[in-house]
Structure 1
Amino acid sequence: MGWQTSWTEILGFATGALCVWLVARQHIANWPIGIANNIFFIVLFVRPETGLYADAGLQIVFIALAAYGWWSWTHGGGPGSSEALPVRRTTAAEWGWLAAAGAVGVLGLTLLLGRATDSTVPFWDALTTGLSLAATYGQCRKLLESWWLWIAADLVYIPLYVYKGLYLTSLLYVVFLALCVAGLLGWRRALPARDTRKALGATA
């Protein structure tokens, strides 16, 4: 098809697809697979011809969040707890601080990338970074709506990577988008019965 790719991009594709599939199934192995995926994308994004520096830095934050998510999923998020973390809905307070932190972060990153780097897409790089961080935090806490944030991020990532010539990575994010929809439906089914009724009522 005339695509130019690398082993780094291929390995990022494989580990990324596997990671999201495992998250959708609430499988704990998604966290170490995700860390490997982050490392591959750091190498890919810092190449001069790619220049997605915020996305590269984002992968480092992802690694830290993965360590937290790994612990949170196995210990229920509470000190001394050995129970698995249940799926739940995002509270109004959580939405409030996520929106505030996201807006400040996107604005700050856009200014930083525009002035301190040679990025050609500072706003879009910053926007996907903000959405991805919020979505990853949500998945660490098993918040159902984290899937909506990932869907929004993927809808920006797909054309962004096409623009940057990362066609295989763009295709990966099409796969991610489908897996996110599957994950959203799967996690909704995992909600407690009362929350499931509320979720269905909210989308009716």
Structure 2
Amino acid sequence: MSPIFDWFFQQYENVSSHIVILEIIAVLLALASAWFSKMDNILIYPTGILSTAIFVYILAYYGLLGDLVINAYYFSMSIYGWYVWTRRVDAKHYTPITTTTSKEKQICFFIFVGTLIFIYAVYEIFDRWNSWTAYVDTLTTAIFFVAMWLLARKKLENWTFLLVGNIISLPLYFYKGLIFTSFQFLLFIIISIYGYRAWKQNVNVPETSLLN
């Protein structure tokens, strides 16, 4: 094998093959979910739920508590988002894409601060402050918690938070040894940019279909 190939994938040398296979499946499902999100398509949720369920298992295997909590939260937000997206505002229309109100901005602030406190407590209880990645985990968890709440509410600003979180996560996951997942975040960055542009064109446009 080439030195480049060895350098990229040496992290998997002592990892069970079923974990590697599950990671690839979870990444593909996550990419599909992100693409469906960009397309404002309800299939974001079944694909996202399957992906997060697999990632919870993988992250428990690696002992990455902060990341595990993120994906467990994603799972619950996917259930909530599925409900919001399919809710009708009248006889013919579903919940549309909108921008955040002043009250929702305040909620975002409290979610962000509350998450920082919660993840700090989790790492403190389990004595996981053994690497600089724990501090970055705490920050990205707070960013993604806000992003997922905004996504579930069909708010345009979710893409801004996702973009920031994805940019931070790309090198972080590579450092942790989850190579396929780090590549996933590179594609997430691209999807975040195009997703924002696509959603911005459809703000407050009545939704007549969930399979765009």
Query: Match of 2:80?
Result: 68
Q: Residue 45 in 1 paired to residue 55 in 2? A: no
SS in 2 for 1:19: helix
Conserved 8 A contact 1:74-1:82:
no
Alpha-carbon deviation of 1:42?
Answer: 0.8
Query: Match of 1:87?
Result: 97
In structure 2, the gaps of 5 or more residues are 206-212
Alpha-carbon deviation of 1:81?
Answer: 6.7
1:153 to 153, 165, 190: 165
Alpha-carbon deviation of 1:143?
Answer: 0.4
Q: Hey, what's the Cα distance between the residues in 1 that align with 2:114 and 2:158? A: 19
1:124 to 109, 131, 136: 136
1:20 to 30, 34, 37: 34
Normalization by structure 1: what TM-score? 0.85
Q: Hey, what's the Cα distance between the residues in 1 that align with 2:54 and 2:166? A: 18
Check 1:63–1:108 CA distance in 2 against 1; reply closer, same or farther (3 A cut).
closer
Q: Hey, what's the Cα distance between the residues in 2 that align with 1:184 and 1:66? A: 19
List, as ranges, runs of 4+ consecutive aligned residues in structure 1 with deviation greater than 6 Å. none
Alpha-carbon deviation of 1:115?
Answer: 4.0
Q: Deviations over 1:85-107 (max 9, x none)?
A: 11111112211221123113213
Further displaced range: 174-183 or 108-117:
108-117
Further displaced range: 59-68 or 160-169:
59-68
Check 1:82–1:72 CA distance in 2 against 1; reply closer, same or farther (3 A cut).
farther
SS in 2 for 1:28: coil
Query: Match of 1:98?
Result: 108
Query: Match of 1:202?
Result: none
Q: Deviations over 1:82-134 (max 9, x none)?
A: 63111111112211221123113213312431442435332222222111111
Q: Hey, what's the Cα distance between the residues in 1 that align with 2:170 and 2:164? A: 11
Normalization by structure 2: what TM-score? 0.82
Check 1:178–1:137 CA distance in 2 against 1; reply closer, same or farther (3 A cut).
same
In structure 1, the gaps of 5 or more residues are 194-204
State the number of aligned residues: 189
Q: Hey, what's the Cα distance between the residues in 2 that align with 1:81 and 1:56? A: 39
Higher RCO, 1 or 2 (CA under 8 Å, sep at least 6)? 2
Q: Deviations over 1:145-194 (max 9, x none)?
A: 0100101111111111011011110000010110111110000010148x
Check 1:81–1:127 CA distance in 2 against 1; reply closer, same or farther (3 A cut).
farther
Conserved 8 A contact 1:75-1:81:
no
